[in-house]
Amino acid sequence: MKADSVEALFNLDPLQLQDQDIFKGVEALRRMRSEFLAAGGETGAKTPGKPAAKAPKKTLSKEELGTLNLDSLGIKIV
Amino acid sequence: MSTEGNSSFSQKSQNLQLAWDSTSLGLLKECPRKYYYSIVLGYQGSGDNVHLAFGQLYHGALERYDHSRATGADHDAATVSAVRYCLTETRVALANGGWRPRDWGDSNKNRFTLVRTVVWYLEQFRDDPARTLILHTGKPAVELSFRFETDFKSLAGETFWLCGHLDRVVEFNNAVYGLDRKTTKHTLYSDFIEEYSPDNQMSLYDIALQVVYGIRGQGIIVDKAQIAVGFSRFERGFLPKTDEQRVEFYADTAFWIGQAELFARKNYWPMNDKACGNFGGCVFRGICARSPQVREMWLKGLYTKRMWDPLQVRGDI
């Protein structure tokens, strides 16, 4: 049994699908994404006048990555 | 007792929940009456909840991917395992030996868009700088059930617990974050992260990260997916947290759980009638709109029962 398209991926009994059948469907979905992007589609968020939230630049040093004082939070690890 | 058999509730004090997750805590904050109907009595709207089911399958598929990668599979093989999970979990066996695809009757969230979203997400984050932490057991830190004891006590001296499930714990830019994945049908804007700051669930996950790992996490990353009929799009947002915010959330949580004990002792669950229209309308609005003496009859007729027990650990794979 060969699934050589997205349609086949969804129409065939999943229990009968081989990994290579599924992979062909995955590749078809990836092509669909590429075509969507090529047609001007965006797979990131729309920007309503604000830049996207970025990762904080500051990173913690090894010293700062110490154990949090859980007692101050009144929390016990169990 | 309506909570009989629910391990998250007290055996001494009727209707008093001792183990709290973000869902039950969030419902209590939103509306005590809604919390009572949904968690204490266990009522839910009849029919398949597409958003819950879709979200669980989406999480489950990406969990398979993470596990496969952690055990040495390459990107393609791990993607296949995630897609196989989606396809088999949406296969409904028929009495005649055949099968049919699961159908929620939703044009945005369906079997096809589930698989497409999983594949496109994994393409979007193919070279993800956020790397899954590997536990000392060798398993990836994904879908981790957590529970921890607080120092809050009930009037009967019982301990309250906080619990839940972390989607994923990652190392990103030399810092540790919890990572949660969300889906929506609505347009995804780049400032979406603001809707999670503050947020009951994210704050609890952030505290859990500190407790589970005993390290100073930076906060929470949210990967949100918009599921449209013709495409899926994604955005990543960051929620950095300070210790002061953690202490504040913890103190607020103590207050809310104290309120829950008060409601339980009096068996009085007030409505927050300013929340009835939230999120498209409360599922119990039609009940609360009726006269008190007929509500129970309508609840039994229109709703099904299930038990919400946050102490039930999700299956490990």
Question: Which sign does the torsion angle of CA A38, A41, A47, A49 carry?
Answer: positive
Q: Report how far residue B123's alpha carbon sits from residue B231's, in angstroms, rounded to the nearest whole number.
A: 13
Question: Which sign does the torsion angle of CA B84, B139, B174, B204 carry?
Answer: positive
Q: Report how far residue B119's alpha carbon sits from residue B87's, in angstroms, rounded to the nearest whole number.
A: 13
Chain A hits for B174, CB-CB cut-off 8 Å, are: 59-60
Q: Tell me how close the Cα of B296 comes to any Cα of chain A, in angstroms.
A: 39
Cα dist from B289 to B30, B161, B192, B231, whole Å: 17, 34, 33, 39
Helix (H, G, I), strand (E, B) or coil at A4: coil
| B-chain residue closest to A31, CA distance | B120
The shortest CB-CB distance from A68 to any of B214, B224, B235 is to B214
Q: Is B211 on the interface with A (CB under 8 A)?
A: yes
Model pTM score = 0.87
For residue A52, pLDDT beyond 80: no
> What value does the mean pLDDT of chain A take?
72
Chain A hits for B224, CB-CB cut-off 8 Å, are: 45
pLDDT the model gives residue B144: 86
- The secondary structure of residue A67, as a DSSP letter, is -
Spatial CA neighbour of B145 closest among B167, B161, B130, B128: B167
Chain A hits for B150, CB-CB cut-off 8 Å, are: 74-75
Weakest-pLDDT range from A4-13, B79-88, B92-101, B248-257: A4-13
Q: What angle do CA B9, B11, B16 make, to 5 degrees?
A: 40
Q: Tell me how close the Cα of A3 comes to any Cα of chain B, in angstroms.
A: 13
Q: Report how far residue B176's alpha carbon sits from residue B209's, in angstroms, rounded to the nearest whole number.
A: 9
Considering only residues 10 to 49 of chain A, which have any Cβ-Cβ distance to chain B shorter than 8 Å? 10, 13-15, 17, 19, 22-23, 25-26, 29-30, 32-33, 36, 41-48
Task: Tell me the average pLDDT across B186-208.
Answer: 94
> What value does the mean pLDDT of chain B take?
92
Chain B hits for A47, CB-CB cut-off 8 Å, are: 189-190
Q: Is A65 on the interface with B (CB under 8 A)?
A: yes
Subunit contact B234:A56, Cβ cutoff 8 A: no
Cα dist from B248 to B80, B198, B207, B252, B254, whole Å: 43, 11, 11, 6, 10
> What pLDDT digit, counting tens, does each position of B169-191 carry?
999 999 999 999 999 999 999 89
For residue A71, pLDDT beyond 80: no
Q: Is A68 on the interface with B (CB under 8 A)?
A: yes
pLDDT the model gives residue B212: 73
pLDDT the model gives residue A42: 79
What pairing do the DSSP bridges indicate for beta strands B91-93 and B19-20?
Answer: unpaired
Task: Tell me the average pLDDT across A57-76.
Answer: 52
Helix (H, G, I), strand (E, B) or coil at A22: helix
> What pLDDT digit, counting tens, does each position of B286-310 carry?
999 999 999 999 999 999 999 999 9
For residue A65, pLDDT beyond 50: no
Q: What angle do CA B140, B166, B227 make, to 5 degrees?
A: 100
The shortest CB-CB distance from B83 to any of A25, A45, A65 is to A25
DSSP class per residue in chain B: -TTTT-TTB-SSSTT-B-EE-HHHHHHHHH-HHHHIIIIIS-EEESS--HHHHHHHHHHHHHHHHHHHHHTT--HHHHHHHHHHHHHHHTEEE-TTS-EEE---S-SSSSHHHHHHHHHHHHHHTTT-SSEEPBPTTS-BSEEEEEEEEEEEE-TTSPEEEEEEEEEEEEEETTEEEEEEEEEESSPPBTTGGGGGSS-HHHHHHHHHHHHHH-S---EEEEEEEEE-SS-EEEEEEEEE--HHHHHHHHHHHHHHHHHHHHHHHHT-----TTSTTGGG--TTHHHHTS-HHHHHHHHHHHEEE----TTSPPPP-
Spatial CA neighbour of B161 closest among B171, B170, B174, B148: B148
Q: Between B205 and A47, whose confidence is greater? A: B205
pLDDT the model gives residue A59: 53
CB atoms within 10 A of CB B119: 24
Rounded to the nearest angstrom, the gap between the alpha carbon of residue B309 and the centroid of all alpha carbons in its chain is 12
Q: Report how far residue A68's alpha carbon sits from residue A66's, in angstroms, rounded to the nearest whole number.
A: 6
Which of the residues B115, B241, B313 would you substitute to probe the A interface, choosing the one with the greatest number of A C-beta atoms within 10 Å? B115
Subunit contact A77:B148, Cβ cutoff 8 A: yes
> What pLDDT digit, counting tens, does each position of B144-167 carry?
889 999 999 999 999 999 999 988
Size of interface A-B (CB pairs under 8 A): 156
Beta bridge partners of A46: B189
Q: How confident is the model at residue A78 (pLDDT cuts 50, 70, 90)?
A: very low
Burial of B106 (0-12, 13-18, 19+ CB in 10 A): middle
Chain A hits for B253, CB-CB cut-off 8 Å, are: none
For residue B100, pLDDT beyond 50: yes
